[in-house]
Amino acid sequence: MSSAEQTPDATSAAPGPRPGRLTAAAALCGLEALALIAGGVCMLVLGLTGDPDSTSQAETGGATLIALGVIPLLAARGLLLRRGWSRGPAIITQIMALPVAWTLLRSSGALIPAGIVLAVVAVTGLVLLINAATTEALGIRGRA
């Protein structure tokens, strides 16, 4: 056993099995992170090799999506490691996804199913993150 496993961490929850809801929330955050990073890489590549309206705008948008993808990626890792701090960025990611889903739902074509999927993922993520078993597993206590 390493010294990191032996030393209790003030930011981690009590030992025990990780609830399935916490694992599912981490998986959703990880999927959102991968989608953001993949979208950012795609925008960067298309901005550099394609014929966008504005090359600098495509590159900036791609870099922004990659940077935003790091947040849910770190949150997913924190959730898997049962770190209490990770719940905040994970919840913020879900809340930020809801207006994007709404915008996709109000568009046309293939964007509507994408909006439905994003809305379902965001609401499911929120439900999993505010669940009592999740907050308890993360060592987050409510108000006294």
pLDDT tens-digit readout, 73-130: 999 999 999 999 999 999 999 999 999 999 999 998 989 999 999 999 999 999 999 9
* pTM: predicted TM-score of the whole model, two decimal places: 0.81
Q: Are 100 and 118 in contact (CB under 8 A)?
A: yes
In this predicted model, which residue has the larger pLDDT, 25 or 56? 25
Residue type, 34: L
Element of type H or E holding 22: helix 20-49
| Contact by Cβ (8 Å): 70, 30 | no
Query: What pLDDT score does 16 carry?
Result: 75
Q: What letter represents residue 106's amino acid? A: R
The answer to whether the CB of 42 falls within 8 A of the CB of 89 is no
Q: What percent of the chain has pLDDT over 90?
A: 63
pLDDT score for 144: 59
Q: Which residue stretches of 81-131 are H helix? A: 87-105, 111-130
